Amino acid sequence: MRAAIALPFALLATAAVAAPARPPIVAVSHIAVYAADLAKSESFYVHDLGALKAPDPEDPKGTRYYFNATQFVEVLPLPDGAGKNRLDHVAFRTSDVAALRAYLIANRVSAGRVRRGTDGSRWFDTADPEGNKVEFVQPPASPAPVPANPLASHIIHVGYIIHDQAKEDAFYKTLLGFRPYWFGGGEGKPTAWISIQVPDGTDWLEYMVQPGPPDRGIPEAMNQATAGVLDHFSLGVANIRDAVTLLTAADRISGKSDGPKIGRDGKWQYNLYDPDGTRAEIMEFHAVAKPCCSPFTASDPEK
């Protein structure tokens, strides 16, 4: 009887050992956006933001604008039928894409095949519970060097529109291990911004919570400009005054901008917008005022 009872437990233990572990997810890799005019986008990302232009190892039709050797904005030609949407995907960096893909598949999440870029990077894509495309990237062993950007050299977070926090949390927090960082909303309004850090670093994803209809993607009543405010990326800086002074002195504020201002999270920020309306949020690493709604529950990025 004892042997018969022990057998199922032995099988369970074997299954637990055989299940793939999640490899580290360490940082934001990039955000991929659409552009109606590639030349105007190049001027914004190179002249205004100071990024390094390079070919796109994933897509020959695209262009990468690097802020450091492993973080960039990927700009893709505007596809037919995009409508008011300008976001293709967000991406996070992992140390082992093959292992992460195996982990997702073992947990019944569909994932595309692992592909290799011309620079030796590897990646695969999947979708969050609302159908938004998400990539996981393993950079090449020796990334090409990128000169230090005097404005900013760190994409500290990306954000995009979601509708159902519980569904997204099941993917990002429960399955992938993202951790709470901060949440808030407009004064007197429901929580609309929910920040969760990558499991093994200080970069974060910001849910931009919006009501429908529909229950995924850009709400029907929302225009392209508002969608671009919500689907965004953020560059970290030590001092917003220095950043805005640099931009102003070199005549690098060529389009729409707003700020500087202290956000509801207590951090100084300044917003620029690419020619299609995607927001580039320049943000200080640390709060200078008490945040509304929630304390910070994880460490800030330092540089």
Determine the pLDDT at residue 12: 34
Condensed to tens digits (0 to 9), the pLDDT of residues 152-166 reads 999 999 999 999 999
Mean pLDDT of 167-192: 96
Any domain includes 3 = no
Any domain includes 190 = yes
φ/ψ (deg, to 5) at 154: -145, 115
The edge-to-edge listing of strands for the beta sheet with 268-273 is 179-184, 193-197, 204-209, 155-162, 232-237, 279-284, 268-273, 257-262
Q: What total of structural domains would you count in the chain?
A: 1
Provide the whole-model pTM. 0.92
Q: Is the model's pLDDT at 115 over the cut of 70? A: yes
Any domain includes 251 = yes
User: From CA 234, how far away is CA 285, in angstroms rounded?
Assistant: 11
Mean pLDDT of 136-145: 96
Determine the pLDDT at residue 238: 98
Give the contacts of 176 (CB within 8 A, at least 6 positions apart): 22, 25, 199
Any domain includes 17 = no
* Confidence band for 18, pLDDT divided at 50, 70 and 90: low
Any domain includes 13 = no
Determine the pLDDT at residue 212: 80
Any domain includes 294 = no
Domain that holds residue 228: 25-284
Any domain includes 20 = no
Q: Which of 1-15, 45-59, 151-165, 244-258 has the lowest mean pLDDT?
A: 1-15
Any domain includes 296 = no
Per-position DSSP letters for 11-36, written without gaps between them: HHHHHHHHSPPPPPEEEEEEEEEEES
CATH number for the domain spanning 30: value is: 3.10.180.10
Determine the pLDDT at residue 196: 98
φ/ψ (deg, to 5) at 104: -65, -45
